[in-house]
Structure formats: structure tokens, C-alpha cells
Amino acid sequence: MLNDRRWIDTKRVVWQRADGLCEWCRRDGKITAGVDCHHIIPFESATTQAEMERLCYSVDNCVLLCVPHHQQAHRELASKTKAKVKERREQRFARWVDAMSGDRPLADGCQGSVPDDIAGSVEGEPTDDIERPPR
């Protein structure tokens, strides 16, 4: 997706919007060259191809950042604090519920079990008799 012409066009628009300056530095009253176009919501977190493309190519989902702020943004995404871990589990659970609430019913005998990687955020044990959405 990042080799697609749409990504090149998205980066150009984000760069122009930010006048080539780090948007977080500018927010803090500093002037620093922007280097990296960062996705606010990682497009890899999408559950469908259409959602992934929307997140990837949306200028509203991107910010131009300097290297230190880009590194900070990724550290925050990977934060291991209890609150951040809980928040990410809840987000994954909500995406799973959304994916399962469409035309794909739960397998017979399944009482709302969740994927293994988020089972710690809800009561009950996960089962393997459900169809999981692609990651």
C-alpha cells in the first residue's frame, strides 16, 4: 500500500498542509522540519481492505512529524502501561465485535468467546470454534 501512487499523493497533501514543518512542534510553538508522514490510527489495525485503504490514504489520518516526534508516536503506540494495554485490548475487542456482528454469526455452541490475544480483557475462556476476522 505504501508503494501505491495514492500514498505518494497523500504524503504530498500532508506535506503541503504542514508547510513542511513538524505539526507537533508547531503545536508547541517550535519550528522544526517535518520528515515523516505518520498515520494517527495505524492502517494495519483495520479489519477490512476498504477500511485499511481509507485509513492509509486519508490525509485526516496523517500528520507530518520530525524524527523525534515520530519515534515518540510509535513508543506511545507500543506503550506497555496497564492503561494503554487495556485500551488496546478494548479496541481490538470492539473491532472483533464489529466484524462478528455482520452477516457472519458465531459458530454453534459459542457463547461470545473472543480471540486468544484479547481474552484477558473479558470474562470467560476463548474457544477455537469461531471464525476470526483477518488481522
Q: Is residue 132 part of a domain?
A: no
Task: For residues 30 and 70, state if they share a domain.
Answer: yes
Task: For residues 49 and 34, state if they share a domain.
Answer: yes
Amino acid identity at 81: T
Task: For residues 86 and 71, state if they share a domain.
Answer: no
Residue 18 and residue 61 in contact, taking contact as beta carbons nearer than 8 Å: no
Task: List the domain range (segments joined by +) for residue 34.
Answer: 5-77
Domains of the chain: total: 2
Residue 65 φ/ψ, nearest 5 degrees: -130, 155
Q: Is residue 129 part of a domain?
A: no
User: Could you read off the pLDDT tens digit of each residue along the chain, which spans 135 residues?
Assistant: 778 899 999 999 999 999 999 999 999 999 999 999 999 988 888 888 899 999 999 999 999 999 999 999 988 887 666 777 777 778 777 777 776 776 444 344 444 444 444 444 444 444 444 455 555
Task: For residues 20 and 40, state if they share a domain.
Answer: yes
Q: Is residue 133 part of a domain?
A: no
pTM above 0.75, yes or no: no
Task: For residues 71 and 96, state if they share a domain.
Answer: no
